[in-house]
Structure 1
Amino acid sequence: MTTTTSGPPAAVRSVSPRATVRLLGAWHTTGPAYAALADALRSAVLAGSLPVLTRLPSERELARALGVSRATTSAAYARLRDLGFATSRVGSGTVAALPRDASRHEVAAPPPAGDAPASDTPSADPTTPAADDTIDMSQATPSASRALHGAYTRALEALPAYLDGGGYAHLGVEPLRAAVAARYTARGVPTDPDQILVTTGAQQAIALLATTLVARTEHVVVESPTYVHALEAMRRTGARVVGVPVGDVEAIESVVRRTGARFVYLVPDFHNPTGRSLSADERRALADLVARHDVTVVGDETLTDVDLVGAGVPAPVVGDGTDPRLVAVGSASKSFWGGLRVGWVRADPQLVRRLAHTRQVLDVATPVLEQLAVTDLLEHRAAILPDRLAALRAQRDDLVDLLHERLPAWDVPRPDGGLCLWVGVGRPVGRALAAAAVTEGLRVSPGPLFTPDGSGQDRVRLTYTRPAGQYEPVVDRLRRAWERVGGR
């Protein structure tokens, strides 16, 4: 095995031989075994299931686990290095990587004659629909709850009690903090209002936590893929962002142990974008990890209410609520309406005060009227959510059924909750497909946008926040975009 003594980055996590076998699945084809193995590993890197900077098993270990010769694994690793999908250095073994120019691995077959080629930045095309005809499938933002008008009416009636003050409730108005605390208590986690900080949306809550708890150049751990704006918040701190497969607590612990990371961000319920939820066992393993390694875990529960099958979630990510290193973020945006711009943090009272101090340089406090409206919505939540969830469930099914019918080769899940589909197209052309979709008058999000290392190239994210019955043109445009990048 050829090695270098400097240059390639060191691994930040490792994957065991057994886990690699599970990851690869049925990898062997009719061609040379080494080429099939290399292609399977390369696809795993592009898909994000094998994150960049993961140390692979040794050639001997992997050969034994797969039941092949060491010559096969040696040749496969050599092929990965030649393609830029692995590096090797003394002391680190073989480490998964992405080529410097990853876009060359998205090259698609020539488009049909007469069509413009797809690119990351499409040029003007006379066939491009007018801007007002463009369908946006990139925003996971459902329309407002029909209960919103009544909530604002009652909020205006309650507002006079606050007009004699200055209007700045630095921690949030007391009725809302009490309502959020009561919601956690009802979910089995006793919570006092002094453990709640009201923020201007969940995005501000995430940014405040990152700014307060993460030092420049420190490692932070996120799931890959994950919420794109959380990635941005971590990067703005100057942190080194490391991705792990969604829900893989073992991988999180591996990164924490190898890098000394002290901050983990994840979406435990109806994950954006995959729709996956942590099991009860995974939540317990996460709490154990926190206790062993003194790491802060932030669980973004913005999507917790968007349960489309009625199964519920096992428990809040904060466990029994007694460990200050388990922190939760919530929001009214997906449950009621994004335009409310009201979110919150559930944390130890001392951390709540630190976060409130940090946010003084941003916006001082969240608008009082919106807080009162959200208080009312939370109080009527049990009556509001069923109709809202029924509509979202119909929207999900409409889109999924059409995709299964008209693009049957794609991997299209039917998630139990959340607002989006994490669609596998079977080839690393996510960016090219998203660019071609723009030409067809459709906006979708390419997979790499949601990963810290540019993987997920065989994926696109589709949201189902449009009314049911409006997805025929969406799928028709998506199918034409697929044809533009050589899909059939």
Structure 2
Amino acid sequence: MSGSLAPSSLARLLGRWNPGAAPAYRELSDVVRLLVLDGRVPLDVALPSERSLSATLGISRTTVTAAYTALREQGFLSSGQGSRGRTCIPQPGPRGPGLTGAAGRAGSTGSGRSGLAGGSNLSGPPGLPVPDGLLDLAYASLPASGEVVHRAFAAALTELPALLPGFGYDALGVRPLREAIAARYTDNGVPTSPAQILVTSGAQHALNIVLRALASRADKVLVEHPSYPNALDAIRSAGCRPIPVSMPPAGRHPAESWDLDAMEATLRQQRPALAYVVPDFHNPTGRLMPDPQRRRLVRAAAASGTVLLVDETLRELNLDAVASTPLAAFSPAVVSIGSLSKSHWAGLRTGWIRAEESLITRFAAARTIMDLGGPVVEQLAAAHLVGALTEPLPARLGMLRENREVLMALLADHLPSWEAERPDGGLSVWCRLPSPASTAMAVIAPDFGLRLAAGPRFGIGGAFKYYLRVPFTLPPEELETAVLALRAAQDRLEAAPQLRRRPQALPVVAIA
């Protein structure tokens, strides 16, 4: 939309914007920025003139000028004629001059006065390249297991000539990879043939294929609450209605990690077409579903006619070496999806679906609407990686165990008011904040050298504003920098509580 905002209207939206915790221009620019992100100040409207706003707020024109300058530098105000710039959302770009590292920002004063010019131009959505000096906590992913991945690609290149006479299209995936994945399932107690495997470009691609094949618009899909944001986005994009079932609070007995009574009741009453679950180191809580609960879930899904869709992307990241049975071992009707993104490297873009042969045929037909097959060299390399999972995993698990303990200790030392749930596995810690400040933390985080995924991205209807997911994928020294930055951001919010206003609609951004 276009138009202008009257100074009295902006003053009403600002409320009590200046508690004196930081320079007045900084507090004014911060609250206007949050109002834009909130949607309460629309995009492409002209803000009041400097003269009229200063008169309405009873502050100096110099203060308003400095606030507008900061908003322009941050990308929230266009450089229009005179002082009547128009509101906008910053576009991702390179770091501005004079930016210090994350450690310097984390060590700034509790009010968050980092001395950065345009620090918030670092706040582009996760999924875009991370500017230098910015720690990305929106991604729970690891760098490649370098030498192992490199060797796999070298071997793949030697095998490629044998496939060159063919067309290169294969909706099911190259046979060596399907054989390796099938053998992995068989070794884990789920007898599987290559005909029961369809190779995809990652687990997200697999989820979209299953949704296209098995769900119609307006169908219900049971989901855990919280759940993986990209899965929720895919379900909604398919026109389906996610039906959330809350996870029990932290501190429950491991045998009650999931609320099976509620899941059974929801399956019985709602009869959803699909149930999307992450029983193996649930994202974001890191919990592991016990086998007795798995049996109950399989029985309940069968009784309601619901297809149980199991995301096993994190299954290999079993930090405490607790034994569990794949859900597909309890029923041939279970559909399983997985990938190498978390265990090896997201850049491989290799995933799969494991299901009955009749379903694989349906999935292959649905897949050809999206693409005609994955890249061959990556699949050949993935076959070597799947066939030798034991090579990189012990070292990676050892590193992740150390990082988990480091992060838990740092959170206890520097953020004792946070309730951090110790994960059984996976890559992140799910934290409950002392106040509903998750979104505000994500908004101001770039000022402290961080990029965060706000808690409501993991839920439906604005839930989890008290929660934040913190990955432990960074090295210990960077985890310390990140936690100190989180503490500095919390201090700033405590000093300026008006910044906790929660945006009504979070931007849909990529989170891994």
Runs (5+) with no aligned partner, structure 1: 1-103
CA distance in 1, matches of 2:431, 2:450: 16
Change (3 A) 1:299 1:368: same
1:11-410 matches, cutoff 5 A: 112-114=21-23, 116=27, 117=30, 119=34, 121=37, 123=71, 127=116, 129=119, 131-146=131-146, 147-246=148-247, 247-312=258-323, 314-322=324-332, 324=333, 326-410=334-418
Deviations 1:179-213 (A, max 9, x none): 11111111111111111110111000001111111
Change (3 A) 1:483 1:306: same
1:32 aligned partner? none
Change (3 A) 1:470 1:111: farther
Deviation of residue 255 (structure 1)? Answer: 2.0
**Amino acid paired to 2:287:** R
Corresponding position: 1:449 with 2:460: no
Q: Confirm or deny: 8 A CA contact 2:217 2:239 kept in the other structure.
A: yes
Deviations 1:354-387 (A, max 9, x none): 1111111212101111111111011221122101
Counterpart of 2:488 (choices 480, 484, 487) is 480
Corresponding position: 1:462 with 2:463: no
Q: Confirm or deny: 8 A CA contact 2:298 2:331 kept in the other structure.
A: no
CA distance in 1, matches of 2:142, 2:454: 20
Runs (5+) with no aligned partner, structure 2: 1-12, 39-70, 75-114, 123-130, 248-257, 498-512
Count of residue pairs brought into register by the alignment? 380
Change (3 A) 1:241 1:320: closer
Q: CA RMSD in A?
A: 2.2
CA distance in 2, matches of 1:109, 1:294: 57
Counterpart of 2:444 (choices 400, 417, 436) is 436
CA distance in 2, matches of 1:443, 1:110: 26
CA distance in 2, matches of 1:273, 1:110: 35
CA distance in 2, matches of 1:190, 1:470: 42
Change (3 A) 1:410 1:387: same
**Amino acid paired to 1:144:** A
Partner of 2:419, secondary structure, is coil
Change (3 A) 1:303 1:344: same
Change (3 A) 1:224 1:110: farther
Q: Confirm or deny: 8 A CA contact 1:216 1:239 kept in the other structure.
A: yes
Deviation of residue 321 (structure 1)? Answer: 4.4
**Amino acid paired to 1:439:** D
Partner of 1:132, secondary structure, is coil
Corresponding position: 1:414 with 2:422: yes
CA distance in 2, matches of 1:306, 1:270: 8
Deviation of residue 311 (structure 1)? Answer: 1.8
CA distance in 1, matches of 2:135, 2:493: 19
CA distance in 2, matches of 1:194, 1:430: 45
Deviation of residue 110 (structure 1)? Answer: 5.5
Q: Percent identity?
A: 39
Q: Confirm or deny: 8 A CA contact 1:111 1:483 kept in the other structure.
A: no
**Amino acid paired to 2:175:** E
2:504 aligned partner? none
